[in-house]
Structure 1
Amino acid sequence: MRRSLTLFLVLPVLASCTTVVPGSPTPGTALEQRGPAGTVPAGLDRFYGQQLGWQDCAEYATTGTTRTQYKNKKDIECARLEVPLDYTKPDGQTIRIGLLRRQATGDRIGSLVINPGGPGASGMSAAASLSAQVGKSDLGTRFDLVGFDPRGVGSSQPQVRCLTDAERDTDRLDVDIDTSPAGIAQTEAENKTYAEKCAATTGPDLLANVGTRDVVRDLDVMRSALGDEKLTYLGYSYGTHIGAGYAAAFPANVRALVLDGAVDPTQNQVESLIAQAAGFQKAFDAFSAWCAKRQDCALGRDAAGASKAFRELTLPLAQRPVDVGPRKLSYNDAITGAIQAMYSEELWGPLNAGLTELKNNDGEVLMQLADAYYDRDKDGKYATITDAFTAVKCVDEPRVTDRAVLDDVARRYKAAAPFLDDGNPAAGALDSCAFWPVPPTAQETKPVTGLPPTLVISTTGDPATPYQAGVNLAKELGGGLLTYEGNQHTVYLQGNECVDPIGDDYLINLTLPAAGKTCS
């Protein structure tokens, strides 16, 4: 299945009352009511003032990763937030949003709500992974760290799920690089079938209300239920899109926003895709320059020839996948593994090792990188991220069905990222969104007014959300910009001794860095 137009992967709170009471939904559950806090939209009182039942996180785990993260962790607790499925029908069907919290240990300001992006990534898992680090910092003293799984994702109920684990494995073997009329027709038929499976398995009602428009509404319910008059938020990657959407919808409810790895608010879907292709090529070129200095570089000692060497090494997989135990490494998996490695310099070594293995007809490391991208655990279980990603993108963006535009996008993409050029004539196929069973729900963006100062962090060598996107978002929000010179996707709370203190100071004291501040 080809996804031809898809981007690759407080104020002081009200007094709280926390008690374990008879009739709790599960033994050991602490029922807590901190809301309603701040502004409550008409008709939504019961959601904004709801109790949350906090308990051990073990039963919230849905993947191998989260089972490990949540097991026997005493510093975190989990709950679910009830929200309307359709905000135009607040008395109708409801769904539940998964929450994970590490409570503040000192003079509490409020909650720091985080989302790691995707769309489709688990904010609960992200918060669990950051809990130990945050606990050692001033952030952990002053803020409850709260991660959430957006509607349809992970521990939220119900989930968006389109393919079974076995079907996902099979899909990864389906190369779909034939751009002949017959090849395009086959790809489009597969994409149509995928959309139909999503509708049948997930249901059109959830698919119609799974976009960023609704996640932003959920975030405001969450703010109030957590007891915060105003929102303090940290968003990475697509999470910056949620943050910007919240700023536009609820500017008066914002205390502080840190947006790291920005989605560009000035670009349409096509321009974002081409910019991302160029970003990945820039990252690949940086990898190639690093690799060329090594005696063991799988792509040779000439960085200028690395794109060609990469294509020559990976393209044969389109016809002859490599056995990796009972599985096969496909051309798609090799490309996905390389894309995964572009997100951080720490993965450049494994990528070189994987490409060296491939020379010897071994695909184990590249398969591990691809599995990490798709969040597939060692038991063959997939997280919901891939299906949720597609579902959100299909309602967040207008459909592109003009074949002339699709062909132009394919041509421009190959030109922007030659290391990903499969050698076939440029032609685009209708993706799954063209056959989606529900219409887009994205709303026209409007200038944001009445917003307090915000902080955007942008990395010069970010492959997935190129640097200029952060510049544009900071300008759009009228906030501060912190530049990080490096080759990775996002940087805050990853141990950088320049970036982390600046972000902490902003979140705690609302102090922006000096104009033009750069870290490395």
Structure 2
Amino acid sequence: MTRTRALLATLAAGALLVLTGCTVPGFLQPERDRSEPTGETVGAELEPFYSQVLEWERCGEFQCATATAPLDWSDPAAGEIELALIRQAARGGGDPIGSLLVNPGGPGVSGYDFIAESLDFAVGPRLQERYDVVGFDPRGVSRSTPVTCHDDEEMDEYLYGIVDAERGSDEWIAEVGASATEFGAACAERTGELLGNVDTVSAARDLDLLRAVLGDDELHYLGYSYGTLLGATYAGLYPEKAGRLVLDGAIDPSSSAREVVREQSIGFEAALRAYLADCLGGPECPFTGSVEDAEAEVSRLLASVERSPLRGSDGRYLGANALIWGIIWPLYSPAAWSYLDDMFESLMFGDADFALALADGYHDRDPDGTYLDNSNEAFAAVNCLDYTVDADPESMRRDAAELAEAAPIIGPYFGFGDIGCSVWPVPSEAERVPIAAEGAPPILVVGTTGDPATPYKWAVALAEQLDSGVLVSYDGEGHTAYNKSNACVDDTVEAFLLEGEVPEEDPRC
């Protein structure tokens, strides 16, 4: 449903921004190699988890530890899973405010890697001075006990395989459904009981466990994209333990799966139009004429590879789905729009490699064909538990037609997303409802007016749902707003996290 701010960090590492998370300055705080739990009273079945002492070890320039959590929070005695943590100790001397847990989104993205590889992109220097910055892999993700499904070759076929039938036809739905069924069966076989316990509510309960074993009476938290849903869910479950929560690139917890897809289709289409307008104003744009002319050319390219996929130099084929991923990835950040110039120009000459490379970036696939993590598997597993779907083909066709009308370029290829979860081996029982978090202190909700992945209206909705929600609007393009060179947003977020200052009204940055 959403991807993540970590995509932006990956693009930034490609020379868009300077990231220094792997080149930490020499001054470090003296080692604090143990985290003592808060000692709060919990039920007997949870006491072994809440009383554990974290032992921190050096891992490069950071400290790392592993916590254990119940496999199934409804039955804590049923087994355990591991949660991987990474920490940058507060750099400013004296007593830190506490831990600042950071989630980059996804679902399914490694918060561990986010801190290890792009600390300065994740959190500004003023926060690094006063907080122990903690990244973590949620349950099912990467270094924590993971969801495991396909090997690399199988994943290539699942993501990039070409369906030789008309999109939306009975034959096409059957073939896509068979592929999704095979994928889900592999996940169930290789993951086991965990597959039914990677929902966001379970991850939010893990978040409270981490708060306690880190020794913090309140949770201080910075969540991006899907991380806003995780943070809001936490506030709804534990309003009395919420500290300073910032939710940037907000998701509306009450939105259904189809509402999410519709709004994202519209959002990415708007971002594509903004890119094309910017491109046509430059000297090296591969398009000519008006924005409408350029949009028509993008539609033509998509229709062309849908009919006749282009073969890449590695033997894979570029179909419309892969091209959509290649288009979407750079739309997360205006700083990456120039990649689209090169991609579209290469496509016009029949070269699929640049588009495949961008699609690979979206899916964390290395040029040698290996997948760098399990984000694709975890993404599917979490979403299929968090959202209910409608498996009726006629209903899906109606929705697809509405998407194509709402977003004529992107929409035709965003339809039929319910197929995968309709055959998932663990049925969802989730209800999409507003979250009020009554009794929680002020919660900052940050929204970007031109955000394609988490549309601004979701931030408005979440701020209104939360009893103590405070909206911070950024008038701009791209996914998320904090720590991306806007002083108004940065100052507002950091004054809140550092001093507890709450803006009297939306600053409209």
Which category of TM-score, normalised to the shorter sequence, fits these structures? 0.7 to 0.9
Change in 2 beyond 3 A, CA 1:89/1:469: same
| 1:22 alignment counterpart | none
On the 8 A contact 2:222/2:246 being kept in 1, the answer is: yes
| 1:19 alignment counterpart | none
| 2:80 alignment counterpart | 94
| CA displacement at 1:131 relative to structure 2 | 2.8
| 1:297 alignment counterpart | 285
Change in 2 beyond 3 A, CA 1:436/1:289: same
| CA displacement at 1:39 relative to structure 2 | 5.6
Matching of residues 185-334 of structure 1 within 5 Å: 185-203=174-192, 205-318=193-306, 319-334=308-323
Change in 2 beyond 3 A, CA 1:35/1:421: closer
| 2:38 alignment counterpart | 36
1:168 matched to 2:155? The reply is yes
On the 8 A contact 1:455/1:481 being kept in 2, the answer is: yes
Whole-Å Cα distance in 2 between the matches of residues 490 and 136 of structure 1? 14
| CA displacement at 1:7 relative to structure 2 | 5.1
| 1:388 alignment counterpart | 378
| 1:156 alignment counterpart | 144
1:403 matched to 2:405? The reply is no
- Per-residue CA deviations over 1:334-385 (Å, capped at 9, x if unaligned) read 2101010110101110111111011122233322221111011233221211
On the 8 A contact 1:30/1:53 being kept in 2, the answer is: no
1:84 matched to 2:73? The reply is no
Matching of residues 438-457 of structure 1 within 5 Å: 438-442=426-430, 445=433, 447-457=436-446
Match of 2:487, SS state, is: coil
Whole-Å Cα distance in 2 between the matches of residues 41 and 458 of structure 1? 38
Structure 2 counterpart of 1:479, one-letter code: G
Taking every aligned residue pair, what percent have the same amino acid on both sides?
A: 37
Structure 1, gaps ≥5 residues long:
1-5, 10-28, 58-72
On the 8 A contact 2:310/2:350 being kept in 1, the answer is: no
| CA displacement at 1:37 relative to structure 2 | 4.7
Change in 2 beyond 3 A, CA 1:493/1:40: farther
| 2:20 alignment counterpart | none
Whole-Å Cα distance in 2 between the matches of residues 345 and 357 of structure 1? 20
Match of 2:90, SS state, is: coil
1:356 matched to 2:358? The reply is no
Structure 2, gaps ≥5 residues long:
5-30
| 1:16 alignment counterpart | none
Whole-Å Cα distance in 2 between the matches of residues 129 and 513 of structure 1? 32
Match of 1:95, SS state, is: strand
Change in 2 beyond 3 A, CA 1:292/1:136: closer
Matching of residues 81-160 of structure 1 within 5 Å: 81-105=67-91, 106=93, 107-132=95-120, 137-157=125-145, 159-160=146-147
- Per-residue CA deviations over 1:21-46 (Å, capped at 9, x if unaligned) read xxxxxxxx986241035563552111
Q: Which of 473, 484, 493 matches 1:483? A: 473
Whole-Å Cα distance in 1 between the matches of residues 74 and 3 of structure 2? 32
Match of 1:35, SS state, is: coil
| CA displacement at 1:434 relative to structure 2 | 1.1
Q: TM-score, normalised by structure 2?
A: 0.88
Match of 2:101, SS state, is: strand
RMSD over equivalenced CA pairs, Å: 2.2
Whole-Å Cα distance in 2 between the matches of residues 94 and 317 of structure 1? 46
Structure 1 counterpart of 2:259, one-letter code: E
Change in 2 beyond 3 A, CA 1:150/1:295: same
| 1:65 alignment counterpart | none
Q: Which of 312, 326, 347 matches 2:336? A: 347
Equivalent pairs, count: 475
